[in-house]
A and B are shown apart, each in its own frame.
Chain A
Amino acid sequence: MLKQIEGSRAVAEAVALARPQVISAYPITPQTHIVEDLSAIVKRGGLGACEFVNVESEFAALSCVIGASAAGARAYTATASQGLLFMAEAVYNASGMGFPIVMTVGNRAIGAPINIWNDHSDSMSMADSGWIQLHAETNQEAVDLHIIAFRLAEQLSVPVMVCMDGFILTHAYERVDIHTQAQVDAYLPPFEPVQMLDPDEPVTMGAMVGPEAFMEVRYLSHHKQLQALEVIPQLVDEFRAQFGRSSGAMVAPYRTDNAQTVVVALGSVNGTIKDVVDDMRAQGACIGSVKIGAFRPFPLAQIREALAGASRVIVVEKDLALGLGGIVASNVRMALRGLPTPVYTIIAGLGGRPIPKASLHKAFDGAMRDEIEDPLFLDLDHKVIDRELARMKEKRRSGPIAENILREMGLVGHKLG
């Protein structure tokens, strides 16, 4: 059924259609609307015996969901940013123990400085935690991915993070096709846990493993991710068959035919990128783009294949590995290892900084001339940076950079005194 609906609410409805049995969450912008809606659905009785547990922290939320999953329940949580970091220990624990939890991450920057707006630093910080990370480009895809995520998680006994850009998606009203319960039920069978806390068949979960077996345990987790590379396309095909829509592709090329330059990105920015590609194509540029739908497992082979024809690759990413550069770009370079293709990195949109088409266009132009810094910080205010660096050099003063910048800009001076 098509609905004009806020992304968060659409996701809440999709999650509800997956019939979770335990939901536990702690509020953090921009995830709040998702769990608020779910709490209402549960309270209304819309999910039968489903339990919504209001906990005291994200750490507790994921822990609660870990317990629920261990006790045989389909379990869900959602968070963002600081919340994801606050649950970090449990994030690794859930995957280490192989619990098929689904968690929505409404991607948001990480402080300090505290910032509620979108970028990918949060989910990137957990990229190697053993969770599968799927990125939605649109709210429709976000909705579809949640349905796929539950199947994927339960089929492989691995937790899945569905990442959707905070505000850009979570708070955007769009037309979304919400599935019917029958369709979802047909696609997603009831949860049958492979291991469970059951007095009739007691087991010990969460043993301490020493050097004699830890490598093997880790290898097997890695192996699960590799298995996902095969399972995800199957589930995507089945999804198409069931719902008549293509959603969840690990790698989605756009106008890459004869494209010499291919732009790679995660999430909603692909929409902007496609517009720019269209514009540039219209101007005769041989450019296309590739959306990466699954950051973990990272589909090395598919990406390599998708980029095989390109003579240069530009990665646009909303994160920054401080002291290194682009995280996605590094991953893409790994996909292209052995090939001479240059991979440029555009760091964009950190902390919610808008990514205007024009800026991208300009950056892509520069890249196509191979005249681009790498990494390029899109729309970075160099004036401010230069001033601050000069001042720092002069004063060797430490302290919060943001405060200093704002003081420079005269924005908070009167308050801070």
Chain B
Amino acid sequence: MTQRVRFYQTGTFTIGNRLLDPEKRTVQATQERSNSLTSGHRACQGCGEALGARYAVDAAMRACGDNLVCVNATGCLEVFSTPYPESSWQVPWIHSLFGNAPAVASGVAAALRARGKSATRVIAQGGDGGTVDIGFGCLSGMFERNDDVLYICYDNEAYMNTGVQRSSRTPPGARTATTQAVGEHPGNSFNQGKNPALIAMAHEIPYVATASVADLHDLEDKITRAMSISGARYVHIHVPCPLGWGAQPCETIKLARLAVETGLFPLYEAVDGEIVKATPIRSQRPVAEYLGPQRRLAHVMKDEEALAAIQAMADRNIRRFNLLKTDAEA
């Protein structure tokens, strides 16, 4: 659990902090980090998914002493990292299909067990589409069997690789190529979509967490914790996509942070199906501050009713996950 350091200039809000004990610093702050996803990949400028993947896989690498195998679903992450003849991965890695990463990972885990190599850990990863939509059956199966796989979803809230089409993670109001900002109710419909972390919890798997590229300490802690457990585990990471969201590449982290601070993307973790911790919001922001810089939501900014509905979603999260409690209470 992230222990917020109260005051060492920046405490644990920055990636590193030369004033902290080395063990309180992040993997990303070290010169020895694996750079599991290394330079030369073809992700867009400021891609949150590229960043999130390195964060997560590096943390997983450290947690298992580099004894890791990684399965990846089709999607931006796969495409930008492995166009022949160049791979950006520095871990054993396989891409099979769009919707089968959890099952492939189950197979890898089974093989490792059968071959007496269960010390080698398995993670599977994919975008929100690959995870929450097309791969959901396989994911649910993997969960239900409690296979020894950590599944990481990089949620950029649409099918980015195919040109920004709606997924079941696309937020209400958002314009995508298949939910255009036209007609009486522009953008994605309200009251749709699904919450994979809660669904994962319903499988009562040993560990479920949500994380954000905006909070690396929290993210690394969660990956580390997930890696310390065996069985099926799920970590859902919010990764802004400048291209798909119509945002400045330099604002990826800022947007991710605002998603957390507005309450729209609550950070929590659950053990055996029960929430054990929610990361409190540090300084609550109105949703408009988060939506404003995103072109995909420009029309929502002009629509009082839609704005209010989105604010209500944020408020509901805050209530539901008790996000405004203080650190001391937490």
Contact = CB atoms under 8 A, between A and B. Distances in A.
State if A and B touch, Cβ cutoff 8 Å: yes
B99 interface: yes
Given A67-B96, A67-B103, A213 B84 contact: yes
Interface string B136-164: 01101100110100000000000000000
Interface stretch (B22-30, B67-75, B226-234, B267-275): B67-75
A198 interface: yes
B301 interface: no
Name the residue in B67, B72, B103, B105 with the highest tally of chain A Cβ atoms < 10 Å from its Cβ: B103
A209 B85 CA distance: 8
Contacts of A283: none
Contacts of B107: 22, 24, 53, 63-71, 73, 75
Nearest to A204: B87
A56 interface: yes
Contacts of A59: 99-100, 103, 137-138
Interface string A192-225: 0000011101111111111011000000000000
B137 A71 contact: no
A198 B69 CA distance: 7
A67 B111 CA distance: 8
B116 interface: yes
Given A64-B103, A67-B94, A202-B90, A49 B82 contact: no
A97 B93 CA distance: 13
A65 B106 CA distance: 9
A55 B108 contact: no
A71 B106 contact: no
B100 A71 contact: no
Contact of B96 (A71, A97, A199): A97
A22 B114 CA distance: 7
Contact of B108 (A57, A61, A71): A71
Contact of B110 (A24, A198, A206): A24
Contacts, number: 168
Interface string B53-71: 0000000000000111101
B246 interface: no
Interface string A18-34: 00011010000000000
Given A66-B96, A204-B87, A55 B103 contact: yes
For chain B, give the interface size range: 35 or more
A64 B102 CA distance: 8
For chain A, give the interface size range: 35 or more
A69 B103 CA distance: 12
A49 B116 contact: yes
B111 A69 contact: yes
A2 to B, nearest CB: 31
Nearest to B106: A64
Given A59-B99, A199-B69, A53 B94 contact: no
B128 interface: no
Contacts of B85: 207, 213
A203 B83 CA distance: 14
B89 interface: yes
Contacts of B71: 67
B79 A21 contact: no
Contacts of A7: none
Given A21-B111, A56-B137, A67-B104, A207 B83 contact: yes
Contacts of B100: 59-60, 63, 66, 89-90
B93 to A, nearest CB: 5
A55 B106 contact: yes
A388 interface: no
Contacts of B96: 63, 66-67, 90, 93, 97, 206
Nearest to A191: B115
A102 to B, nearest CB: 14
B91 interface: yes
Contact of A207 (B87, B138, B147): B87
B218 interface: no
A303 B80 CA distance: 46
Contacts of B141: 55-57, 60
Contacts of B89: 202, 204
B217 interface: no
A50 B137 contact: no
11 contacts: A49-B115, A63-B103, A63-B107, A64-B110, A66-B100, A69-B111, A97-B96, A198-B92, A199-B67, A208-B78, A212-B84
Given A60-B103, A60-B138, A197-B94, 8 more contacts: A22-B107, A24-B107, A63-B96, A67-B94, A67-B106, A68-B110, A72-B115, A208-B95
Interface of B: 66-69, 71-72, 78-79, 82-85, 87, 89-97, 99-100, 102-116, 120, 137-138, 140-141, 144-145, 147
Interface of A: 21-22, 24, 49-51, 53-57, 59-61, 63-73, 75, 89-90, 93, 97, 197-199, 201-210, 212-213
